[in-house]
Structure 1
Amino acid sequence: MSQPPVPLNADQQRQLVGQAGQALVVALPPGWRQIRVEYRAVGRHVEADVVVTGPDGTPRPVPPPPEVLRLLGVLRTGMYQPGRGTWLGAVLVFGPANVLSADYQPDVEPRWRRPPPPIGFQDELRFFPRAEQFVPPWLRQRAAPAPVLTATPPAEAAEDLRTPRVYDGLDESGRPVVNREPLQAAEKERVLEYLDGAPVVLASRTYDTDAFDPERTDVVPLNFRTDGSWLWPGAVAYYLREHEVAPDPELLTHIRALRFTMPEVDEPARELALAAITGDTAS
């Protein structure tokens, strides 16, 4: 966006909302009762959900017409206030005869269907500049450059191998405590592939009890795997898979920095890991 947004007056705003409603009605069968549009945008990232309540009173989702997306984009741009920004989320409700409601949210983060990348939030502040006092903390945080991730270097001695915390502590009853953000489904699968793809350096034929569900006995693998930098028990992958417990944040950063690609783990690296487990560090 190279030119500053052209402001729309109140009549022009109402006209655009009406045009969006008309574009919605064209594709609908007669007898509908209500249309609800939820529009979310930041930078170039746009999402929209349209739900139509039919003659039977049942709400059903329908695809948003491209013309509606265009009109609401024009509306969002035209409602920009210098230094204040524009809205990021809007909910419009249409009845058969008029607009029932229009709610615009300039400061509340929308509930994204697919979280936008940092560049989307950076573009938002570039396209629609805000004075410092009008930048919500969440938007400032989202627009911050992504931190540079650094992988843990390969261990040169057994004591250099890092080991993760399986969970963050225990409560008064002895149950595990976790203070970690759960992973998105796609990343969870990639992390599991990494954890399960590392070579096993020590394994037992028996299994342990699930710390989060003690009634499940003999289910947690009693093995250890290594990637040459970290050494972790089978419980790490088990609790991620069964209870959505993300790995230790430092191990997770290491995996992300490697782009979820397992390095080559040679025999000396496996011997170091075994020595770290058994305590036999003599060479």
Structure 2
Amino acid sequence: MATAAPSAASRIAVVTGASSGIGAATARQLAAAGYRVVLTARRKDRIEALAEEITKAGHQATAYALDVTDRAAVDEFATAFKTIGVLVNNAGGALGADPVATGDPADWRQMYETNVIGTLNLTQALLPKLIASGDGTVVVVSSTAGHGTYEGGAGYVAAKHGAHVLAETLRLEIVGRPVRVIEIAPGMVKTDEFALTRFSGDKEKAEKVYEGVAEPLTADDVADTITWAVTRPSHVNVDLVVLRPRAQASNTKVHREL
């Protein structure tokens, strides 16, 4: 079903964690769908290169270096806008795969700060702008980890459960306002950096995550789902999409061809 182009008041889309993976793919796809995308991430060189790529493709993009856990910086960033139409809270990530008994509290704290407090910071700072647009959308990119536990993942699972509850509660609290709240919860996604970051650059451990899985999700698969949800008619709220590759039945059951 064809959808109308976004209105002028709601044409700006802010994407966090846009320097790679799902964030970068989402920025490309939203730009192609007619949004002026604002790319945020800590790695300024990455988002500037992506903004240039999107602009050369005939779309509109702006890069803004931002650490989502720095509330003062987030508040300053928010002053640049009178209204925005879309906020994609994508910045996050996992660190380590240790059991609860030996997990590093610093890793837990960092995951919570990025996945939950970072999402809270951007959402609080930009919510008045989203409401002012008359047709706003908040997207929270959580994870299947936010909907089920697995051994060795408690710190990440706890953080993504937090992101899920944030989205669910916000939807209840702002009902009646012209803002939708969408949660996209991907399962196994193979990107250049997610598993590598989780295992502190250990390529062997990172590759084992996807070993024998014929077709894990790609960043483009998730970005396509986000863009589809965002571009539904304004009265349609896609509350939650749990997105997995066919080979993954749950967080703990994956078909591997070994």
Same fold (TM over 0.5): no
Name whichever structure is richer in strand by fraction.
1
TM-score (norm 2): 0.26
> Which protein has the larger Cα radius of gyration, Structure 1 or Structure 2?
1
TM value normalised by structure 1: 0.24
- Structure with more of its chain in helix, by fraction: 2
